Structure 1
Amino acid sequence: MQHATLNNTQAQVKYNRPVVYFLLLWTLLNILQAYTLELHADEAYYWVFSRMMDWGFYYHPPMVAVFIRIGDTLVHNELGARLITLLSSTLALYLVWLMLQRYAVSAKWFILFMGGVLIFHVYGFTATPDAPLLFFAVLFYFFYQQYLDGDSWVLAIILGVIAACLLYSKYHGILLIGFTLLSNLKLLKRGSFYLTVVLAFALFVPHLIWQYHHNFPAVNFNLFERSSGGFDITYGFNYIGAQLLIGGPLISWFLFYKAFTTKIKDAFMRCLMVNAAGVFIFFYLNTLKVDVQPHYTLIAFVPLVMLALINLKQREFNPIWLYRLAGANIILIVAFRLCLVAGFSFLKENGQLASYYGFRDWAKAVHAKAGDHYVIMKDEYQNPSKYCFYTNSLKGFAYDSRYYRTTQFDMWPFEDSLQHTNVYYLTQDKIHGVTTDSIDVTGKWYGGWVNNARTYQKVICKAAVDTITAAPGQQQAIDLTITNPYPFTIDFSNKGAVHPLAMEACLYLGDDLAAVQPAANDFYNLPPIKPGGQVRYAFTLKAPVKKGSYALFFSWRTEPFEGSRNSTIIKLTVK
């Protein structure tokens, strides 16, 4: 009996050993890349999230900030910011291996397939919300597999916590939860299932409260701003091509074919099938109205690869041509990653990859000019975030003008702190009388000082109506309620001001700015507004002569800035 047990143990060690070596190499490659490659712009943005911890952010829930904060607390560099991401990636792959053992999947094919999915490589070291989403998705599958084996209140509690973590990682987590339930409606007959639901919801309530207090910015952004567009036949083709690329440039076609021809023999396999098919179909349907970003389907590739591996075992499929193709696929991906580490010039000049290079030196050059003063950049959150990370400060600020969209910088208190101080304005265009310096790092930059800065980016302007119909040239009074969200009193007077204020109505016809109409002089005589206070103002708008459907919003502008977007869009129809 002892001899048999020893043989089983030795066989298990031999079975697992190649996977252990693979995971070790996987981790080392991710450490190398995480340490040598500068932060991508989005990673730097999420690093700022980690310095401004909250229950929510404009685009995403806060789990990515937690991941980054833990590593950055240990060491402030690129590796620190990515540390939890790369460790969770290795653990996720190991958990997938454990789940597949009951199907007697080959270690060789596990390594070739899991190591050949390009998107797993990307989020093996990249610190974005997709990294915790991937980890908690795998963790959910791992414990759900055990929950199917036997009803357990303990497992129900664990699944409830994981489900909440999924939602705190990225809103896409709701797809995994929903499709899992759809694959097994018998869960509704388990009392413990309702504990999972209630616990997940209870843990997610703080984020919902945060959304409520901030007027549901994530709902507005994801359902309206990001989804605004229209049908374009190329979206669907782009989506399919992108999925074949990120699934592994040489083997993705085989993964899709094998995964979706797998014989379903248990509830867990059915869960994998419904999740894989459901996520891919869901986002394909989204291409009917918007250009879907390729990585949105990340959580679908876990069940896809698992099903493909199970299929190989079911059919005892082991062709030498596939082995060679999968090996070449991994070599291609790893070679590309090593080229990124080496930083060849042709990669630095690529628009998608340029963000990984040169910004450490750029931040030093800018800091040499600005010192500890705020540095303002317009219409982007990326470079202000990079400046913050590489100076380990919160002195980079994104001025989101009327021509841009809202970002998290519009919600943070950065702007509060720079009022009536001297700030350094950095732009890629010369501004007469402002820009006196030039910086030749990562492109041509121009900078200059703005003394006694005055901005109104957070002022809230709400119109009494959201649609207006007018005849060409007709004048209409629009009743506005103006709210002061700052912790200090504000006023709009230009008396003695270094940078006069202009309150303006901006009218867009399609993508073109058709007209800008200033407020009457009485606007600048409005009384000061205390923190949280409001004033009413009747803005007299003259409808354009040209008939059409216009987008109207109100903007507060002070030189040398281009003016912020301070109201929601009002639909103006001129007929």
Structure 2
Amino acid sequence: MEKTVTTVQSNKPIWFFIACWTLFNIIQSATLEIHADEAYYWIYSRFLAWGYFDHPPMVALFIKAGYALFQNEFGVRLLTICCSSIALYVLWLIAKPYRVQPKWFILVVSGMFIFNIYGFTTTPDVPLFLFTVLFFYVYKQYLERDNLKLTLLLALIIACLLYSKYHAVLVIGFTILSNPALLKRKSFWLMAAVATVLFLPHILWQVNHGYPTITYHLFDRSEAGYRIDQTLGYLPAQLAMGGPFIGWFVFYAAFRKRATDPFKRGLMVNAAGTFIFFLLNSLKGIVEPHWTLIAFVPLVILALIYITETDRPYQWLQRLAIINVVFIFTLRTCLVFGPAWIRKVEQFKSYYGFKEWAHLVKQKAGNHYVVMSEGFQNPSKYNFYNNTVTCLSYDARDYRRTQYSLWPIEDSLQHKRIYYVLNRFQQGVTTDTIKNMAGSWYAGWVDDARSYQKVQISCAQKHVKARPGQSLQFYVTITNPYPFAINFANHNAKHPVFLETCFFIHTTPVDVQQADSTFNAIQIPVGKTARYTVKVVAPKQKGLYDLFFSLRTEPFTGSRNSSYIKFTVE
């Protein structure tokens, strides 16, 4: 009886903490404008599918469910609030058997900056966080009791992990690496089979769309080359994610003791493995601090276990943790009220002024389609705040492809009068200026708009070496993915189209060469292809270039219609 009373008492501070946590997330979610990424994923929910260019579909379902109840920012974030609170409680259920004190759980968890971010911001990381916590909770039980119920439950959670974000592969892989004995369990293979079957719709989506995600991450990304600041910046960013003042101790405590059982070893391998994986990724490009979210789940559990097992008062740590929590709480409160100084911080600008901006653009554009050429962020905000999907993000050649290259928005604006919005002045195009606290934009009307953003140009050659100024030929296949026939004729066309071969060094154009007029004779029926020979002259300067083919229609800057070809001039 005494044990039961102690258990109930120990839960009271946790329930109170989670209630306060939930309430604060509700306030923040209801008062902050939509973030650019959230607006992008909101459009996901308007075009439900088994997959998307950037991510699996779980975030779209989360937003769809919340937005069905509340058609505003709060609705987009509703399930995020719920999932954050559930995840923290399940995290407590994992830590509790190790005699972790509620005081330390509250101080450490509420002081983790990365957990605060995903308490009110809806991205694919939110379901990833929830299902990662659930995975470790059920995995611990599965190690103790190998039965059908836990096997199927873990299979379902693994499938949900994969449907949340591709980083889930790291959780699965490092868990198996930490405990190879799992491979000897018959139930493990049943679990793998069930999870694969559940994830099959997304795999088929990738197959049917030409593996866009895999192609982008493995072949269509141009790296700028190694910069030491990418690696040096990675390390302090991770400490900050663990808590601006206590992050260093969380890392220290988590890896202070050796793992004594398969579950702790799984936690340690997942934490260490994920941080090392992204550290190595910093050698070839920028690593966003939040990409390691899945590592902070095992990290915080290990740190709390260490604090408990050392059985020290840690009064200095308690004071530091309180300062840490107050700092984060103050920062989040400032986000709610939006003082002038915080609106100037680059990471927070996206939360302010764009609702008014979207309405100002709408006043100019009316019911016409809108095209923007500055990434997917602002077009998504325009669509969200005007409850529409009539704004297209033009994926320019110096940017990258996005889900806008797959959605049918571009199909609908062909040969219509559109409103073109830019973040720079363009002579002969922009006649309007739109200004508010979010910034300045320039816009103008384009009659009989014509674009070929979805057209795919493929080439068998992936690596080419040439002498400076050498003439070459590329045999390309041009595919028409539109539900209507296309042609590249310029006769009687208001806006001519050009096929251009682009030599870039990362995002900087070095040389652009235009195909001759024989290209303009090409006509391609629905779903068909055409072959064409492109004549190219190698740059005169020796070096390594990214070559790709681009279709440019005035007044647009040209889209990137092919994968990169690594071009070496030697």
Shorter chain as denominator, the TM-score bin is over 0.9
Out of 337, 351, 355, the position equivalent to 2:350 is 355
Counterpart CA distance in 2 for 1:574 and 1:244 is 42
The residue type paired with residue 518 of structure 1 is Q
1:179-222 deviation line (CA, Å, top 9, x unaligned): 21222222222221111111111111111111122222222333
**Preserved CA contact (<8 Å) 1:420 1:454:** yes
Q: What is the aligned partner in structure 2 of residue 449 from structure 1?
A: 445
**1:328 and 2:323 correspond:** yes
1:530-549 deviation line (CA, Å, top 9, x unaligned): 10112222223334444444
**1:185 and 2:180 correspond:** yes
Counterpart CA distance in 2 for 1:573 and 1:291 is 24
Aligned-pair Cα RMSD in Å: 1.8
**Preserved CA contact (<8 Å) 1:15 1:107:** yes
Q: What is the aligned partner in structure 2 of residue 437 from structure 1?
A: 432
Q: What is the aligned partner in structure 2 of residue 244 from structure 1?
A: 239
**Preserved CA contact (<8 Å) 1:243 1:294:** yes
The residue type paired with residue 487 of structure 1 is P
Out of 140, 143, 149, the position equivalent to 1:145 is 140
Q: What is the aligned partner in structure 1 of residue 399 from structure 2?
A: 404
**1:311 and 2:311 correspond:** no
- Aligned pairs (5 A) from 1:105-504: 105-226=100-221, 228-262=223-257, 264-441=259-436, 442-504=438-500
Out of 470, 493, 502, the position equivalent to 1:506 is 502
The residue type paired with residue 493 of structure 1 is A
1:151-201 deviation line (CA, Å, top 9, x unaligned): 111100000010011111111111111121222222222221111111111
Tell me the TM-score normalised to structure 2 length. 0.96
Shift of 1:65: 1.0
**1:538 and 2:526 correspond:** no
Shift of 1:247: 0.3
**Preserved CA contact (<8 Å) 1:502 1:556:** yes
**Preserved CA contact (<8 Å) 1:312 1:318:** no
Deviating more after overlay: 396-405 vs 257-266: 257-266
Which secondary structure does the structure 1 equivalent of 2:238 belong to? Answer: helix
- Aligned pairs (5 A) from 1:74-93: 74-93=69-88
Q: What is the aligned partner in structure 1 of residue 59 from structure 2?
A: 64
Distance 1:146 1:464, change over 3 A: closer
The residue type paired with residue 423 of structure 1 is I
Distance 1:511 1:339, change over 3 A: closer
The residue type paired with residue 492 of structure 2 is G
**Aligned residues: percent identity?**
51
Distance 1:421 1:148, change over 3 A: same
**Preserved CA contact (<8 Å) 1:377 1:384:** yes
Distance 1:464 1:177, change over 3 A: closer
Counterpart CA distance in 2 for 1:451 and 1:353 is 36
* Uncovered stretches (5+) of structure 2, i.e. residues with no partner: none
Tell me the TM-score normalised to structure 1 length. 0.95
Q: What is the aligned partner in structure 2 of residue 13 from structure 1?
A: 8
Deviating more after overlay: 312-321 vs 196-205: 312-321
The residue type paired with residue 344 of structure 1 is P
Counterpart CA distance in 1 for 2:547 and 2:6 is 71
Which secondary structure does the structure 2 equivalent of 1:439 belong to? Answer: strand
Which secondary structure does the structure 1 equivalent of 2:66 belong to? Answer: helix
Distance 1:544 1:323, change over 3 A: closer
Counterpart CA distance in 2 for 1:506 and 1:181 is 44
**Preserved CA contact (<8 Å) 2:128 2:161:** yes
Distance 1:372 1:244, change over 3 A: same
Structure 1 runs of 4+ off > 6 angstroms?
A: none
**Preserved CA contact (<8 Å) 1:262 1:310:** no
**1:517 and 2:499 correspond:** no
**Preserved CA contact (<8 Å) 1:263 1:311:** no
Which secondary structure does the structure 2 equivalent of 1:334 belong to? Answer: helix
Question: Number of residues paired by the alignment?
Answer: 569
* Uncovered stretches (5+) of structure 1, i.e. residues with no partner: none
The residue type paired with residue 514 of structure 2 is P
**Preserved CA contact (<8 Å) 1:36 1:341:** yes
Shift of 1:22: 0.2
Deviating more after overlay: 444-453 vs 25-34: 444-453
Q: What is the aligned partner in structure 2 of residue 23 from structure 1?
A: 18
Shift of 1:506: 2.0
Which secondary structure does the structure 1 equivalent of 2:487 belong to? Answer: coil
Deviating more after overlay: 564-573 vs 367-376: 564-573
**1:49 and 2:44 correspond:** yes
